[in-house]
Chains A and B, each alone.
Chain A
Amino acid sequence: MTDETAQNRKSLAIIVSKGTLDWAYPPFILATTAAAMDMDATLFFTFYGLGLLKKKLDLGVSPLGNPAMKMPVGGLHLGMPNLVAALPGVTAGATAMMKSMIEKKGVATIEELRDIALESGVKLVACQMTMDLFEFKKEDMIDGVSFGGAATYLSEAVKADVNLFI
């Protein structure tokens, strides 16, 4: 690739602030697809999004306080009252149900998308402040992650063609 085409490359920068199973999808889907479309992509993981860089992922999803979460059951889409969603075991059950749907519908796992992101050169940046705040150690995180702060993100965002906060 010549310098000129490198300069003309489009780029994507996303702040990843959420770490539940459902919210983990958009940033990884978009970043891997951007890389496939010859774009540069940077994901900046902050607050609850930071957990998505841990070596061992243990993602969950909860219907509590989430009235939009209506799962397909026998042709219907059923939500769950908060009082029920608050019971012990419901988060684990909802997570298991979501994971089984993900598998059945041929949707990639977050682990799979994260591996592809690394392979395809997506820059994964962990927010150093959040690392300190939540007492994470560098060795808790996967290899290939870099560490930085607001200025690091902004230096990518200012030249990016697509900027998102998720």
Chain B
Amino acid sequence: MTDKTVDARGLNCPMPILRAKKALKEIPVGGALEVLATDPGSMSDFDAFAKQTGDELVSAERLETHFRYVIIRRS
């Protein structure tokens, strides 16, 4: 179960990251955010984002039509 979902499908860099950050601020620390994206660069970007912010990327999946990420807010 996630606390919130950001649908960034169809949006290009850097919008999936910017939308995800905005949503992360709206969930409690320890909460989980689901992000859906179609930007092929997002695989690398969400990994880099989580490494820098300290949030935890617990899942990064390549589905048939899009990517799905789950990030736990850690700070």
Write the residues of chain A forming the contact surface with B, with a CB cutoff of 8 angstroms: 10, 29, 32-33, 36-39, 105-108, 116, 120
Q: Do A107 and B53 touch (CB < 8 A)? A: no
A contact face: mostly helix, strand, loop, or mixed: loop
Mask, B16-56, CB within 8 Å of A = 1, is: 01101100000000000000000100000000010011000
Given A38-B52, A38-B53, A33:B12 Cβ within 8 A: no
Partner of A36, one of B10, B39, B49, B75: B49
Q: Which residue of A lies closest to B38 (CB)?
A: A106
- Cα–Cα distance between A123 and B12 once the two chains are bound (Å): 24
Q: Do B53 and A33 touch (CB < 8 A)? A: no
- Cα–Cα distance between A105 and B10 once the two chains are bound (Å): 7
- Cα–Cα distance between A39 and B49 once the two chains are bound (Å): 11
Partner of B21, one of A36, A105, A106, A108: A36
Q: Do B17 and A108 touch (CB < 8 A)? A: no
